[in-house]
A and B are shown apart, each in its own frame.
Chain A
Amino acid sequence: MNYQAIKAIYIFEMSRMRRTLFQSIVAPVISTTLYFVVFGAAIGSRITEIDGVSYGSFIVPGLIMLSILTESVSNASFGIYFPKFSGTIYEVLSAPISFIEITIGFVGAAATKSIIVGTIILLTANLFVSITILHPFWMIAFLILTATSFSLLGFILGIWADNWEKLAIAPTLIITPLAFLGGSFYSISMLPPFWQKITLLNPVVYLISGFRWSFYENADVSVYLSLLMIIVFMFICLIIIYYIFRTGYRLRV
C-alpha cells in the first residue's frame, strides 16, 4: 500500500477546501439558517410535532443528510473531474498507485469535507432548536457511511462526466430531488399509502430514516435495513470503480 500517495492526494484535495474556506463553511451555515427560517418557522408553525419530536428538531437529521449527499457527490466528482479537465490526471495515472489508493485519497478527502459541513450544520441547527442524539455511535456510523458511499458515487460521476454540464446534472437533477422526496422534511408515514410504497424505492429514504433514528429513535424503516442499504450501495459503487480502473474507462485510452 502506497500510504504516502494516499496522504498526498488527501492533503492536496483538502487544501482545495482551505483555499475556499469561506465558501465551504459560510455557505452551508447560511443555507441551514434559511431552511430553518422557511421550514422551521413557516411550516413548523403549522406542524408542531412529528412522532413526538418538534418539527424544527425533526428536520435536523434530514437537513444534515441533504447536505451530506449533495456535498459528497459535488466534492468527489469535482475532485477527480478537475484533474481530467486540466490534464493533471497524467500524474496520478503515471504514479505507482493502485485504484484502491487513488479512490481512498480522493473519496476520503471528499467524505471528510462533507462530514465537516454536516458537523457545521449540526452546530448551526443547535442554535435554533434543541437536538438530542440518543445513539451517537450510530449517528457517526451513518454519517461516515453515507458520506463515503455518496463520495464514491460522486467519484464515479466525475470520471464519467466529460463536460461541466454533465458534472452538474447528477447533484441537481438526481441527488437533490431524491433527498427532498426521501423524507428530509417529513415522515413518509404522512404520505398516502400508494406514495409510501413508491417512496420506498428511493434509496435516500433508508439513509435519512436510519440517521434520524440515531437522533430520536424515530424511523420510517428498520435501522438494520437502512444500514444494509448503505453497505449494498457502497459495494455497488466500489465494483463500478474497480471496473473503471481495470478498463481505463474515460481515464486511459
Chain B
Amino acid sequence: MLSTEKIIEIKDLSKVYPDGFHALKSVNLDIHKGEIFALLGPNGAGKTTLINMICGIVNIHQGKIKIDDHDVINDFRITRKMVGLVPQELTSETFETVLGTVCFSRGLFGKKKNDQYIKKILKSLSLWDKRDSSILKLSGGMKRRVLIAKALAHEPKIIFLDEPTAGVDVELRQDMWQVVKQLRSDGVTIILTTHYIEEAQQIADRIGIIDHGELILVKEKENLMRELGKKHIKIILEEPLNEVPEELKSFGLAMDENNSSIVFSYDSSDKNGISSLLQAMSICGIRFSDIETKESSLEEIFVDLVKRKSD
C-alpha cells in the first residue's frame, strides 16, 4: 500500500522566463513519501523547470513549494538538505577525481566526512575502482554514475533524477534501476523524468504527465493503465471475410491486409465488449481459429494523451 503522506507540496506554481516563455502554468502537485514518481512529458514541457524550481536553481515566479512542510525559500537550509539532484546534463568538474568530487558534494550540503558511506555509494555504483581517476577520463555512462553518487553523497530523503539513463548503455541502465530500487526500499522518495517510458512503466508508483507547462494528469500507474489503457484482441478467422458484416460494424473492427483476421480495441474497463462481439460473430456464423490479446503500453497512453491535448 502506497503512503499518501505528502513530502512535497506544490501549489499554483508558475514560471515565466525573462524572454516571456511560459514554462509552467499553475501546477499543483503532491509527492508522497517513499514513492517513485515518474514525470513524463515531451521536450520543453516544463519537467526540468519544475525540478529546478523545487531544488532552488530556478527562481519561483508564482506559487509555493513545501518540502516536508517547510517552505523552500524561507526554510531553504532545511529543505535543500533533504534533496539530491541528478541533472540532465553531464556536468562535472573535469579535472577533479571521482572521490574528490563526491566528497565535495557531501561537504557542500553540510555533512561531515564519512568515508564508509562514500565507499558504500561508490561501490553500489561500480565506481570504487575509479575513485582516483579524473572525471575527464570516464565514459559518459560512468560520468552519469558520478552524478548519481554526488546526489546521494549527503544522504538525501528525496532524489530527483532528471533523465538519468539518457546516453547510458543497457547494462548500466539496469544497474542504475537496481540502485533506484534499493533507494526506494531505504525509504527515499524518487522523482524521475525519463524518455524511456517503458522504464517508468516498470518502476514508477505514480505517473504525472506534463505538456506545455501544464500538468495534464497525475495517477497511480495501475489506475492509469486500467482507466486509459486500451486492450486489443486479434481474432484469427477460419475463413477470410470480404468485409466486416453490418451486424459487427458497431464494434469498430479493423481488418488486416489479407482479411484473415479482425482486431477489436476496447477500454480496459469495458468488461462486456468481448462477449458481445463473440456472440455477434456467432450469430453471423463467423468462425475463428485463434485469439491474441495485447494491452496498451504506458508509452501509447502517453502519446495518446499528449496528442489529444494538442488537438
Chain A residues with a Cβ under 8 A of chain B: 2, 4-5, 7-9, 11-12, 15-16, 19, 83, 86-88, 90-97, 248, 252-253
Distance in Å: Cβ of B147 to nearest Cβ of chain A: 10
Q: Which of A16, A95, A252 contacts B109 (CB 8 A)?
A: A95
* Inter-chain CB contacts under 8 Å: number: 82
B307 contacts the other chain (CB 8 A): no
B81 contacts the other chain (CB 8 A): yes
A185 CA / B87 CA spacing, docked (Å): 50
Residue contact B87 to A9, C-beta cutoff 8 Å: no
Residue contact B91 to A96, C-beta cutoff 8 Å: no
Contact partners of A16 in chain B: CB under 8 A: 95
Contact partners of A83 in chain B: CB under 8 A: 93
Contact partners of B196 in chain A: CB under 8 A: none
Number of chain B residues close to chain A: CB under 8 A: 36
A90-B87, A93-B57, A96-B80 are contacts. A12–B94 as well, Cβ < 8 Å? no
Residue interface bits B87-113, CB-to-A below 8 A is 1, else 0: 101011111100010011111111110
Known: A4-B109, A94-B55. 16 other contacts (CB 8 A): A4-B111, A4-B112, A5-B110, A12-B104, A15-B100, A19-B95, A86-B92, A87-B89, A90-B57, A90-B91, A91-B108, A93-B56, A94-B56, A94-B85, A95-B80, A96-B77
Residue contact B91 to A252, C-beta cutoff 8 Å: no
Residue among B107, B109, B150 with most chain A CB within 10 A:
B107
Contact partners of B89 in chain A: CB under 8 A: 87
B251 contacts the other chain (CB 8 A): no
Which 8 A-B pairs rank lowest in CB-CB distance, beginning with the nearest? Answer: A8-B107, A87-B91, A96-B80, A94-B55, A96-B77, A95-B108, A2-B110, A4-B110
A-B contact pairs, 29 of them (CB 8 A): A2-B77, A4-B107, A5-B108, A8-B108, A11-B104, A12-B104, A19-B95, A83-B93, A86-B92, A86-B93, A87-B89, A88-B92, A90-B55, A91-B85, A91-B150, A92-B108, A94-B56, A94-B83, A95-B80, A95-B109, A95-B110, A96-B77, A96-B79, A96-B109, A97-B108, A248-B59, A252-B57, A252-B58, A253-B17
- Nearest residue (CB) in B for A86 is B91
Contact partners of B79 in chain A: CB under 8 A: 96
Residue interface bits B35-54, CB-to-A below 8 A is 1, else 0: 00000000000000000100
Residue contact A253 to B92, C-beta cutoff 8 Å: no
- Nearest residue (CB) in B for A2 is B110
Contact partners of A9 in chain B: CB under 8 A: 108
A96 CA / B73 CA spacing, docked (Å): 11
- Nearest residue (CB) in A for B109 is A95
Contact partners of A97 in chain B: CB under 8 A: 108, 110
Contact partners of A95 in chain B: CB under 8 A: 80, 108-110
Q: Which of A8, A86, A91 contacts B94 (CB 8 A)?
A: A86
Distance in Å: Cβ of A27 to nearest Cβ of chain B: 18
Distance in Å: Cβ of A234 to nearest Cβ of chain B: 26
- Nearest residue (CB) in B for A10 is B107
Residue contact B108 to A88, C-beta cutoff 8 Å: no
Distance in Å: Cβ of A230 to nearest Cβ of chain B: 30
A9 CA / B105 CA spacing, docked (Å): 9
A11 CA / B105 CA spacing, docked (Å): 12
Residue contact A253 to B107, C-beta cutoff 8 Å: no
Distance in Å: Cβ of A203 to nearest Cβ of chain B: 33
B20 contacts the other chain (CB 8 A): no
B76 contacts the other chain (CB 8 A): yes
Contact partners of B285 in chain A: CB under 8 A: none
A88 CA / B105 CA spacing, docked (Å): 11
B18 contacts the other chain (CB 8 A): yes
Chain B 212-254 interface residues, beta-carbon cutoff 8 Å to A: none
Contact partners of B106 in chain A: CB under 8 A: 8
A29 CA / B168 CA spacing, docked (Å): 47
Chain B 58-94 interface residues, beta-carbon cutoff 8 Å to A: 58-59, 76-81, 83, 85, 87, 89, 91-94
Chain B 266-296 interface residues, beta-carbon cutoff 8 Å to A: none
Residue contact A5 to B91, C-beta cutoff 8 Å: no
Contact partners of B59 in chain A: CB under 8 A: 248, 252-253
- Nearest residue (CB) in B for A15 is B100
Contact partners of A90 in chain B: CB under 8 A: 52, 55, 57, 85, 87, 91
Residue among B59, B77, B95, B104 with most chain A CB within 10 A:
B104
A97 CA / B78 CA spacing, docked (Å): 10
